Amino acid sequence: GLGAHRLYARFDLLAYNPQDGDMVIVDWKTMRLERPLGEGFWRDRIQTRLYLFVLATAGAAFLNGQAPDPDRCAMHYWLANRPDSPWVCLRYSRGAYERDHHWLQRLIADIAQRKDQSQFGQTDDLTQCAVCAYRLLCRPDVTRADLLTLNDDTDIPLVDIESAPELEY
pLDDT means per 10 residues, the chain with 169 residues, are 84 94 93 76 93 94 91 95 87 97 93 78 76 77 71 50 53
pLDDT at 15: 95
pTM score of the predicted model: 0.74
Cβ-Cβ contacts under 8 Å for 36 (sequence gap 6 or more): 82, 85
- Distance between the two ends of the chain, CA-based, in angstroms? 33
- Measured in degrees and rounded to the nearest 5, phi and psi for residue 31 equal -70, 145
Please state, as a whole number, how many other Cβ atoms lie within 10 Å of the Cβ of residue 152. 8
pLDDT at 153: 47
User: DSSP string of the chain?
Assistant: -BTTB------SEEEEETTTTEEEEEEEE----SS---HHHHHHSHHHHHHHHHHHHHGGGGTTTPPPPGGGEEEEEEETT-TTS-EEEEE--HHHHHHHHHHHHHHHHHHHH--SGGGSPPPS-HHHHHT-TTHHHH-TT--HHHHHTS-TTS------GGGPPPPP-
pLDDT at 100: 97
